[in-house]
Amino acid sequence: MSGTVNEVIMLFMVGIERPQDNNTAWGIIVPVFEELGYGCVSAADEQGEVLYRAKEVILLMAEEVIANGHMLSTLNTGFVDYRAKYPAFTEWLAIEVPVEGLKGKQKRVNITLSEPLLARVDAYVGFHHAFKDRSDFLAKAADRYMQMK
């Protein structure tokens, strides 16, 4: 599916589980990811957050799928009725998500950091080999910070 000339949009079926009481959240599931061995679930504290949280988890999981070498097109199944397989999820939405930006291409950016902070970042990256380089560290740090919010 596609929108404008440069925009690629995919349709994802999203199951919604209503909260049992005031102490539980709205459950969210995107079953198509299970075809590649991933679980794609989330939750929203308020009904108004469900669409945002659903798109957020779809984009996060799609990014993971691509990072692990899978083709995103394998998830492009369109409308699928999952109600029988997931009876706890009583509401289903078909959500269009723009995925063009997930192709994994890198984009150079120019940022400004103080020299002491840059030296600390470089020292940290030099000691922690989980990071390929400074850019990898900064990208992962930014992503982690946004996931905490």
What pLDDT tens digit does each residue of the chain (149 aa) get? Answer: 444 445 678 999 999 999 999 899 999 999 999 988 999 999 999 999 999 999 999 999 998 888 887 878 788 888 999 999 999 999 999 999 988 777 666 778 899 999 999 999 999 999 998 888 998 889 888 877 876 65
Confidence at residue 48, expressed as pLDDT on a 0 to 100 scale: 94
Confidence at residue 4, expressed as pLDDT on a 0 to 100 scale: 43
Residue 38 backbone dihedrals phi, psi, to 5 degrees: -110, 150
* Residues in CB range of 131: below 8 A, 6 or more apart: 124, 125, 137, 140
Confidence at residue 51, expressed as pLDDT on a 0 to 100 scale: 95
Name the token pair of 31. Answer: 């079953």
CB 75 within 8 A of CB 10: yes
The per-residue b/e assignment along 9-18, b for 16 or more CB within 10 angstroms, e otherwise, is ebbbbbbbbe
Confidence at residue 149, expressed as pLDDT on a 0 to 100 scale: 57
- Of 52, 49, 30, nearest in space to 40 by CA: 30
With 0.85 as the threshold, say if the pTM is over it: no
